[in-house]
Amino acid sequence: MDTRWAHSLGLALGLAMALAPAAGRAAGVEWLQKPTVKDFVAAYPPRAATEFMAGKASIGCKANPDGYLIDCKVISETPADYGFGDAAVTLSAKIRLSLPAGASRDIVMPLRFDPPIRQPAPIFQQDPKFTAGGGAGPYYPDAALRDKQAGEATLECLLKASGRLDGCKLVSEAPMSKSFGEAALIMARKGWVTAAPRSAAGLPMAAEDVQVTIPFRPDAR
């Protein structure tokens, strides 16, 4: 699933989990572990994700002595036939509760699934000192520049909400053995390649896994 879902699903998860223990709170039930945003993204029903469909489901479970939910079964799901019930059961494995002594260990857990706001793909930009059409730039490999060799390198990075690229790894470079990949990694690390700040509903988005291709054009004017 597109990682651009992550931030908005995180908000949806926070709301869903706040509602889920409504009955439990009255009985003194506390959260010890909740599903992560990554868990929620992975469990979101594929058809519902494709159609940006919201939904909800209630599951009935038992809590074992350690507070983990077991033997979960779907009680209801809306809309039907989208897989929200199965998704809720999947997420139940990531939940752990603290139950007071003597509390019932029969748990009814409602979960709500809210799709995110559609987000455009990130648009990458290069520092004015190094643009696709503006010259070789300070990290152009010496040998390639001397030979007026053009090239490009593709990186896989974590795009932060600020637009910075982090933890980049080289995916490919062309031509090989001209050090374009090494140069691109340096540029990303030094912040010479960024994207516009990312947000959803006015809030910073969670980090995204992205690929960015950096061109090298020695004769650009």
Phi and psi dihedrals of 92, rounded to 5?
-60, -25
DSSP lists the bridge partners of residue 106 as 62
Q: Which two tokens stand for residue 171?
A: 């995916």
Instruction: Quick: pLDDT tens for 149-206.
Output: 888 888 888 888 788 888 999 999 999 888 899 988 988 888 888 777 766 555 556 6
Name the more confident of 201 and 40: 40
The C-alpha atoms of residue 218 and residue 189 are separated, in whole angstroms, by 22
The C-alpha atoms of residue 95 and residue 33 are separated, in whole angstroms, by 5
Instruction: Quick: pLDDT tens for 88-97.
Output: 999 999 999 8
Name the more confident of 154 and 27: 154
Find all residues with CB under 8 Å of 171, minimum gap 6, and list them.
154, 155, 156, 211
The model's confidence at residue 146, banded by pLDDT at 50, 70 and 90, is confident
Whole-prediction pTM: 0.48
What are the chain's domains? 3-113 (3.30.2420.10), 124-216 (3.30.2420.10)
